[in-house]
Structure formats: C-alpha cells, structure tokens
Structure 1
Amino acid sequence: MSFVPTKVFFTKGVGRHKEYLSSFELALRDAKIEKCNLVTVSSIFPPKCERISVEEGIKLLTPGQITFAVMARNSTNEYNRLMAASIGVAIPADDTQYGYLSEHHPFGEDEEQSGEYAEDLAATMLATTLGIEFDPNKDWDEREGIYKMSGKIINSYNITQSAEGENGLWTTVISCAVLLP
C-alpha cells in the first residue's frame, strides 16, 4: 500500500495552562487540529502536493482520524522565556520532484528569526539534493537569491508560532504541516 499525500495545509497555535499536557491540547485547539490522532512524520514535501487553506483542510478532517503531520513543538513554564516553533518549506520548480519541510523549535528566537532559520534549513536541504552550488557560509538572504535564481527552487516560506512563558503556566507553541490524501 502506498500513501502519498496530495494536499497539505499549514497551521499554528499557542496554548497556556497550569498543566503541561493541557497547554499542548490548547495549542492543538488554537491550530484547529485537536480532533485528530496526529502521527508525526519526517520532512518530505510530496511531489504534486497542493497547498490548501486551513479552512479547506479542516473541512477534510474527521474526529478521530489518523492524520499525518510534520510538527514543530516547544514548551516552557519559565516566565518571559521566549520560544518558537517553525516549519520551513522549500518546493522545487519541477513538481514531479519532492521538496523539503524542516522543523525548528528554539528558545530565545522571535518569530522572524526562527522562521527564517527553518526556511533556510528546508531550502538548503533541497538545494543539496538538486545539485545547486552555493557557499554554506553566506547568509540566508544571499543563498536564497542563489537558490531561486538557479530556476530549480520555485518557492520557500515558513509558518511560525512564537510566545513568551507566563508566570505559573505552561506555554506550548506548535506549527504543523498537515498532510492529507
């Protein structure tokens, strides 16, 4: 049996609660995917996979459904501790080839920093599989230009959720790529 997803949607959420597990549940609710039995998978963006909106994706979910997702997740119970959860995406120009999804879950990075890092990870993984020559010591902006000018990478982006810990509560952030048949 072969299951290759044909649709993907991206979602994110944050949850706060005195209990760790409950903060995760609230983050899932915020992301609108709490009704699924999530199975985390590694980071391949399937060939010919169509990105759909969260609203479209939610309509395709059934309570209790086994649902595959690439998930970045982070939690803290430390007051004012900055954290993030990011999914980076890199899609090849040739839609018959696979792309990459990356997960990044740092402390001390804001949404922009974490998102750019995750996007860089995904694009660099894709660039190496496509044989694009680049200097890994160059900063992301320079490499992004090289990747896209090569004509082999058509798009890269990220979805990121960040938050700061609150006093007396667990805070959990998630970002997910939800893969659908």
Structure 2
Amino acid sequence: MLDLVPTHVFLTKGVGRHKYQLKSFEEALRNAGVAELNLVQVSSILPPYCKIISRDKGMKYLTPGAISFCVMARADTDEHGRLVASSVGVAMPKDKTKWGYLSEVHGHGMNRLQASDMAEDLAAGMLGTTMGMEFDPDKAWSEKEQAYKSSGLFIKTSNITQTAKGQKDLWTTTVAIAMFVFDK
C-alpha cells in the first residue's frame, strides 16, 4: 500500500466572479494559483514533520494535471452585497513528531477577522483536545489563544482567509486552501 504523507503544505486564497457558479469557482482557483491541478479534498490532519512553505516554493513541487491533495474552504453567493468568507486555520504542536490540525470555515455575513479568528479557534480547539486541553467554547479566541500558547504545547496558529462581497448579476466565490506537497 502506498503511504502518502505530505512533507510540506502551503496556503493560498482566491476570489472569482462570473455569470455561472462553476466558472466563478474556476476563477477563484485560478486567482489562488491552483486551477491547473486536479484537487482532492481531504480532512483536517497536518502530518507530523510537515513544514509550511511559501506558495511560490510550493508551486514548484506541483505539475499541471497532477492529482493534488488539499484542505479547502469555499463560499459562494449570487446576492448583490452579500459578504462571503473562506478561511483555513492551522494549529501546529510544538512536538514535531505529533500531528496538527487544519480547519475550514465557509461563511456568509462574516468579515475577514471573524472568519480568521473562527478558523484558528477551530484548529487550535481540535489540536488542544488531542492534548487533553479543554476550554469553554464561549470564550473569545484571544483568551483561548493566550492559554494555548502559554501551555507550551503549541508552536504556531495561523490562517489564510479570503472575503468578498457579491456583485449584481454575478456569482462570487471565495476559496482558502492548504495545498499538500510531497518531496520529489
């Protein structure tokens, strides 16, 4: 059996607009730089030892047409003025031999800060529970973030977030993506 464990991940985002929803999604993928890939969405585990790299460096690992694994958040609207948000949150443990988490937020009516805070909060919460940490879900992310970081178990939380407002007579699509890559 083939053991596919990504060695690197990069974050990217995009927005697209078009008369047709599918073409709007394609435009968002193009804006994110990954439209030429066959994307396979996977769940939320960031493998042990997986390093976050820049989009430019990560794109060098990929070949057009390749089957490529990702965690993707996507939001669409065809309502003029409606705010859409897509965000992927990242939570990495300090111990590199352990796995981390990625989370996806797909929202309507959320601004960039709300979506990014929620994505980081979700990723950190999932990682925290694997480490035996439980926090009140009603507490603000800033409170929980300080507790997570002061525990010494987390090395990093981050996110990538794309927001946009719908335009008249067009579909608007936002995507936020964590693209997995493998050493060649």
Comparing 168-177 with 136-145, which one deviates more in the overlay?
Answer: 136-145
Kindly indicate whether the alpha-carbon contact (under 8 Å) linking 1:85 and 1:173 is maintained by their aligned counterparts in 2.
yes
Tell me the C-alpha RMSD between the 2 structures.
Answer: 0.8
When normalised by structure 2's length, the TM-score is: 0.96
Instruction: Give the number of equivalent residue pairs.
Output: 181
Q: Which residue in the other structure is 2:104 paired with? A: 103
Asked whether 1:22 is paired with 2:20, we answer: no
When normalised by structure 1's length, the TM-score is: 0.98
Residues 42-98 of structure 1: per-residue CA shift (max 9 Å, x gap)? 000111001111111112111100000000001011000001000011000001000
Identity of aligned residues (%): 55
* 1:167-178 correspondence runs (5 A): 167-178=168-179
The CA distance in 2 between the partners of 1:145 and 1:115, in whole Å, is 16
Q: Which residue in the other structure is 2:10 paired with? A: 9
Q: Partner of 1:137: helix, strand, or coil? A: coil
Kindly indicate whether the alpha-carbon contact (under 8 Å) linking 1:74 and 1:105 is maintained by their aligned counterparts in 2.
yes
The amino acid of 1:7's aligned partner reads: H
Q: Which residue in the other structure is 2:73 paired with? A: 72
The CA distance in 1 between the partners of 2:54 and 2:156, in whole Å, is 17
Kindly indicate whether the alpha-carbon contact (under 8 Å) linking 1:14 and 1:30 is maintained by their aligned counterparts in 2.
yes
The amino acid of 2:117's aligned partner reads: E
Q: Which residue in the other structure is 1:152 paired with? A: 153
Q: What is the Cα deviation at residue 134 of structure 1?
A: 3.0
Q: Which residue in the other structure is 1:36 paired with? A: 37
Kindly indicate whether the alpha-carbon contact (under 8 Å) linking 1:132 and 1:150 is maintained by their aligned counterparts in 2.
no
The CA distance in 1 between the partners of 2:114 and 2:140, in whole Å, is 13
The CA distance in 2 between the partners of 1:13 and 1:69, in whole Å, is 14
Q: What is the Cα deviation at residue 133 of structure 1?
A: 4.1
Q: Which residue in the other structure is 1:116 paired with? A: 117
The CA distance in 2 between the partners of 1:139 and 1:54, in whole Å, is 30
The CA distance in 1 between the partners of 2:125 and 2:59, in whole Å, is 30
The amino acid of 1:95's aligned partner reads: K
Kindly indicate whether the alpha-carbon contact (under 8 Å) linking 1:10 and 1:53 is maintained by their aligned counterparts in 2.
yes
Q: Partner of 2:123: helix, strand, or coil? A: helix
Q: Partner of 1:96: helix, strand, or coil? A: coil
The CA distance in 2 between the partners of 1:154 and 1:135, in whole Å, is 21
The amino acid of 2:115's aligned partner reads: S
Q: 5+ unaligned residues in a row in structure 1: which ranges?
A: none
Kindly indicate whether the alpha-carbon contact (under 8 Å) linking 1:102 and 1:118 is maintained by their aligned counterparts in 2.
yes
Q: What is the Cα deviation at residue 137 of structure 1?
A: 3.0
The CA distance in 2 between the partners of 1:138 and 1:44, in whole Å, is 24
